[in-house]
Amino acid sequence: MGRAVEEIVEAIEGSLATGRVEEAVNLFTSLDPPTALEVILRLGSSERRRILASSSVDMLGNLLGVLAKLPDEVVHELASVKGVDDIAKMLSKLPVDEVADVLPKLPPRVRVDVLRVLPQELSSEVLRVIRYHPESVGGIMTTQVPIFDARLTVGEVIETYVRKVKLGLYDTHNYVYVVNSEGRLVGYLDAKILLTKPRDVRLADCVERVRVYVEPTRDREEAARLAIAYDLLEVPVVDAGGRFLGVVTLDDLLDVVVSEFTEDLLKYGGFIETVRGSYIAQNPLRLALKRAPMLVYLYLLNAITGSIVAGFEDVISRVAMLAAFMPMLADNSGNIGSQASALILRSLVTGEVRLSRTDVVRVLVKEFTTTTLMLAILAPIAFAIGFAIPYITTWNTGFALKIASVVTAALAVSCYVADVVGALLPILLAKLKVDPAVASAPVITSIADIVTVLTYFLIATELFRL
């Protein structure tokens, strides 16, 4: 697949370079939506603009299915080469939730003009969705679903349901949702089961009660957790008064899972601001601005480690061999802290670990026990290496034993501290209502380095009586 995409990109670029624009456009518009997305992201900005400008709205049908997945940069380019009417025409063919995803990516002035041009009914539905935060349940919910009054009969519901399905008025119609006269959710019914019910039965008499639902202001990640826990295709959305607003569908839930995983992965890698959209299409300047703040912060944090080493300059000058083991110890403690942090992060996301005193104690006991067992493996290896290197260099058994003892003791202390910090920092951040993913691997490694270096030289100073 990747090879085919590269070949298509080369073919389009070659056609554009030789002035065969129509050929390039025909090739691009013949692609299926997923391939079109891959190709449009890999084309250069000028080539993208030429393709988009030379293609009619009808020809760009292959982009409709993936329009909401396009990065902000590409949507801006689309807005710069297409008029408001063309953009509105494209958006009018999309489900409400996807229109709500695309609109915030448009330049503010274009966004306002597009909303004015869109059909009134669609515009109203979109405004209902975009008033919620994009990261909330309301920001991704679909409002165009089958909703019927509980007092109607099955026959009346089927007649209306079939007619609206034929007209394409529903974005999803797996279930029929039943509300009372005040709009409160009463229950739901599988569309296939609805067709088997007696036509004269009241809808209220054959619905299933809703097991779970979510409020529109909740984090969208919560809807994904509910869908996974209860094996749901859709999660109903109701307001604080129980009034039915819409649903979050499976395709949106999958997008949420992928997006949240990507966001957490980047934060754990040391990004303060998440890189959204495609890496391939990302501007290098924007990437640099997103990556630099954490690097500056870590550089300043690592200055503490440098200060500690400088403070023990006399110890190093008298026992230079101590410097040889600093990188090994620092890397080991950082690795242990990062491992613990990754495990706890996963457990917090999946709900295995809760922010209760009992679970915190449970985590501490488990990590302390795990570290002890790991040290049973690591300590003999550390002692052997700590003894072998100075002994081969000096052939002094007493000196080698002291170095090995310092290395092993520092390893043990730093492992326990790094493991506890790595495990508790995500829990502490979650308790403070801060995304625990910001307890990134570089931050934990830097903290572990500080603890390890300080422990190492304090033990060395005492053991060598320097």
Instruction: Going residue by residue through the chain, which has 466 residues, state the pLDDT in tens, using 9 for 90 and above.
Output: 445 888 888 888 888 888 888 888 888 888 888 888 888 888 888 888 888 888 888 887 777 777 777 888 888 888 888 888 888 888 888 888 788 888 888 888 888 888 888 888 888 888 887 788 877 888 888 888 888 888 888 888 888 888 888 877 787 778 889 888 888 888 888 888 888 888 888 888 888 888 888 898 888 888 888 887 888 888 899 988 888 988 888 777 777 666 665 555 555 454 445 545 555 556 666 656 666 666 666 667 667 777 777 777 666 666 667 777 777 777 777 778 778 877 777 777 666 777 778 888 888 888 888 888 988 888 888 888 878 887 887 787 887 888 788 888 888 888 888 888 888 887 877 777 766 655 556 677 777 778 777 877 787 777 766 5
Alpha carbon distance 74, 105 (integer Å):
9
Residues 6+ apart with CB under 8 A from 19: none
Using the 3D structure, point to which of 130, 165, 191 is the last residue of a domain. Answer: 130
Over residues 357-366, the pLDDT tens digits come to 888 888 888 8
- The answer on 316 and 438 residing in a single domain is yes
Using the 3D structure, point to which of 80, 100, 130 is the last residue of a domain. Answer: 130
- The answer on 96 and 151 residing in a single domain is no
Alpha carbon distance 142, 169 (integer Å):
12
Q: Is position 258 within any domain?
A: no
Using alpha carbons, select from 95, 78, 84, 88 the residue that is nearest to residue 40.
78
- The answer on 20 and 164 residing in a single domain is no
Alpha carbon distance 222, 253 (integer Å):
10
Whole domain around residue 160: which residue ranges?
A: 147-248
- The answer on 93 and 219 residing in a single domain is no
The tally of domains found in the chain comes to 3
Residues 6+ apart with CB under 8 A from 133: 139, 217
Give first-to-last CA distance, the chain, whole Å.
64
Q: Is position 412 within any domain?
A: yes
